[in-house]
Amino acid sequence: MDYFLELFFGGLTRGSIYALIALGYTMVYGIIELINFAHGEIYMIGAFTALIVISVFTFMGMNSVAILIIAALIAVVYSSVYGFTVEKIAYKPLRNAPRLSALISAIGMSLFLQNYVLLAQTSDFLPFPNLIPNFEFMEPYAHTIGSSDLVILITTAVVMVLLTILIKFTRIGKAMRATSQDRVMASLVGVDINTVISMTFIIGSATAAIGGVLIASHVGMINFYIGFIAGIKAFVAAVLGGIGSVPGAVLGSFVLGWTESFATGYVSSDYEDVFAFIFLVLILIFRPAGILGRSERHKV
Amino acid sequence: MKTLRNFKVFGFVTLVVLISFIGVSLFTACEKEKPAEVAKKVELEPIKLGVAGAHSGDLASYGLPTVKACELLVNHKNAMNGICGRKIVLLVEDDECKPEKATNTATKLVSQGVDVVVGHICSGATKAALPIYKDAGIVCMSPSATNPPLTQSGDYPNFYRTIASDDAQAKLEVDFALGRLGVKKVAVIHDKGDYGKGLAEFAKGFLEADERAEVVLFEGVTPGAVDYSAVVQKIKNAEADAVIFGGYHPEASKIVMQMRKKRMDIPFISDDGVKDDTFIKVAGEFAEGVYATGPIDTSTNPMAITAIEEHRKVYGEDPGAFFLNAYAAACALLNAVEKTGSTDYDAVSKALQTEFVATPLGILRFDEKGDAIGIGFAMYQVQNGVYVEVE
């Protein structure tokens, strides 16, 4: 039972990270039906920004929790600027082009950002300081869950609640929902589509940056390539949950995290990815829209 | 083929007879007379040293340093009047590390009457070429072919090498874990790559062959995965006393860090993919106490220092991969020829196995299988942020 719980919490932590990235995929898809493959790179840029900020502040000798919060905030702002700019440069000019063009543009952007960071920083793995204070739990739980797992879980939960409030109860949230339903109609009733799309990219980038900072602090190292695999996995999680649906992305992420964790724990880590993708195929066969996705009626 | 072989044998015998006579007089003469006068007296067949390996294509960077090492050594020897009057000539042939080209290369070298061969570079090409040299009775010494069966299968008695085979590291890791650390349950983890998985499989084999220990876990992790907590959990659940990891440093540091954070203080033993300063930099305080095997340090060997300096002087750059191994191979072969005064297969083989020779890699001799004794790996441990050799 202990072992099961350990794997359960391991999967939950991993799922939380996927969720923070998957939100960006699913929101962007919900609004403009584009799979933003450069999203994993935004997550990576968030982690790099945080590392640079942390180096500077550690040099000034500040408290580690304060540094972590400042670094996370700056990473959020910086990544949001990146997300905003990427949309303006790579996707906006192609908004009325065939969907494939925008997709290729996204892949190009992803490669560009990877190589840009590779050249600007280094190809080496860099150590990322562990700034989450290491507090101990009571004995039966001490082995099951660590402090960084807990911080990741709580942060993810808080982000989810804030995002739900934003979408359900604010003006911009209402505008986003309207746009995702029908872009043309929304613009006809006075919704500023460009602002809505920009906001979507900014929010998605911000959550990805938080994910980047947390996972970097959790595993303790980053390099320019971390965004690729994390991005692919988060994308799979978004599809699993039903792309376009915010709660779906979260659920899909947890399902993927648990699948990987239990497959590793009870079968073999050799088959970690195999099981994750078998699961994806099965879901797509039996529920093509994803777990929580609604099947779309295509306009004729 | 048979007549050709007979002819070869006959040729060798006559050569041996000739050299044994002249050789004796020369050895005595070498000391008394000046080299120039000796050269005037006897005009001898040069010794043909073959150099085979990848000299073009994408693996050329592995083969070309061998050519340069041989050139340097041969120029040096020839300046000292060759091997007792016999000049050495190089026969350089390219195989691009392709097995099908390697057989052509070998046939061509044999038809040119090569005496001994330094090469080939890649294990696959070496394996393809060896039967041809074997039939022709030619000794072949590779600076870089690490595939274990090349020596261990016993199929190629004419093969020697100046590099430790792939399983040597795994053997050292297992011996160290069982002997020095006295562990009983070992988790063997790898990164699913050719190198990491190969080493891990050897380690598993050695552990299973030893009744002192058991393998409680054998698994591959996905390189680049977001975290490895599930695998770490599994190691803990298997109640392993130690982890042997085959792979490179990014995965190793992630696993070590997650283990230490879960307060698992069992030894972590790895390979030369982890014996890298980046590992210490990334894993930081968590790297402390990690074991890793790495090549025995030869940077203080005076011959190595001289050879590298000479390379810089002649070619204007630092030597490339396997340069010292190639230099050592050429030294060993030429020494065997010099000691026996012949290029006869049996004599050279015997000399390689009995005569010690000074090389940039240390003083060497070869075992009956063809592996160099004294070349290999040492165990290192991270202590206060640096790798320190464990006695």
pLDDT at B240: 94
Nearest CB to A14; choose among B219, B224, B227: B227
pLDDT at B29: 37
d(CA B101, CA B104): 5
d(CA B64, CA B56): 8
Predicted ipTM of the assembly? 0.87
Average pLDDT on B147-164 reads 90
Mutate to test the interface with A, among B227, B265, B279, B281 (most CBs of A within 10 A): B227
Could you tell me if B230 lies within 8 Å of chain A, comparing CB atoms? yes
How big is the CA angle at B121 (ends B116 and B126), to the nearest 5 degrees? 70
In chain B, residues with a C-beta closer than 8 Å to the C-beta of A233 are 226
- State the CB neighbour count (10 A cutoff) for residue B37: 10
Over pLDDT 70: what percentage of chain B? 89
Q: How far off is chain A from B229, nearest CA to CA, in Å?
A: 6
pLDDT at B17: 44
pLDDT at A134: 75
pLDDT at B182: 92
Q: Are B227 and A230 an interchain contact pair (Cβ–Cβ within 8 Å)?
A: no
Over pLDDT 90: what percentage of chain B? 52
Average pLDDT on B313-319 reads 90
Q: Are B262 and A146 an interchain contact pair (Cβ–Cβ within 8 Å)?
A: yes
Residue B329 scores a pLDDT above 60: yes
In chain B, residues with a C-beta closer than 8 Å to the C-beta of A10 are 227, 229-230, 233
Asked if residues B143 and B330 have their Cβ atoms less than 8 Å apart, the reply is: no
- State the CB neighbour count (10 A cutoff) for residue A207: 28
End-to-end CA distance of chain B: 53
Count how many Cα atoms sit within 13 Å of the Cα of residue A50 in the half-sphere of its side chain. 39
Helix, strand, coil shares of chain A, percent, nearest 5, are 80, 0, 20
d(CA A103, CA A90): 10
Could you tell me if B282 lies within 8 Å of chain A, comparing CB atoms? yes
> Which residues, other chains included, contact A278 with Cβ-Cβ below 8 Å and sequence gap of 6+?
none
pLDDT at A298: 53
Average pLDDT on B124-140 reads 93
Q: Are A7 and B230 an interchain contact pair (Cβ–Cβ within 8 Å)?
A: yes
Residue B128's alpha-carbon distances to A119, B124, B380, in angstroms, are: 42, 6, 36
Q: How far off is chain A from B227, nearest CA to CA, in Å?
A: 7
Residue B88 scores a pLDDT above 60: yes
**Which tokens is A181 given?**
């339903």
pLDDT at B376: 81
Sign of CA dihedral B306, B310, B313, B319: negative
Residue in chain B lying closest to A268 (CA)? B219
Nearest CB to A261; choose among B230, B253, B281: B230
d(CA A26, CA A110): 17
Q: Are B227 and A13 an interchain contact pair (Cβ–Cβ within 8 Å)?
A: yes
Could you tell me if B385 lies within 8 Å of chain A, comparing CB atoms? no
Q: How far off is chain A from B320, nearest CA to CA, in Å?
A: 22
pLDDT digits (tens, 9 = 90+) for B16-70: 444 444 444 334 334 444 444 444 445 678 899 999 999 988 788 889 999 999 9
pLDDT in tens, chain A (300 residues): 788 988 999 899 999 999 999 999 999 998 888 899 999 999 999 999 999 999 888 888 778 888 999 999 999 999 999 999 999 999 999 988 998 999 999 999 999 999 999 888 888 888 998 888 777 666 666 667 778 888 999 999 999 999 999 999 999 999 999 998 888 899 999 899 999 999 999 999 999 999 999 989 888 889 898 999 899 999 999 999 988 888 899 999 999 999 999 999 999 888 888 888 888 898 889 888 888 877 665 544
Q: In whole numbers, what is the pLDDT of chain B averaged over residues? A: 86
Mutate to test the interface with A, among B229, B255, B258, B285 (most CBs of A within 10 A): B229
Could you tell me if B227 lies within 8 Å of chain A, comparing CB atoms? yes
**Which is more confident, B375 or B217?**
B217
pLDDT at B14: 47
**Which tokens is B379 given?**
């165990």
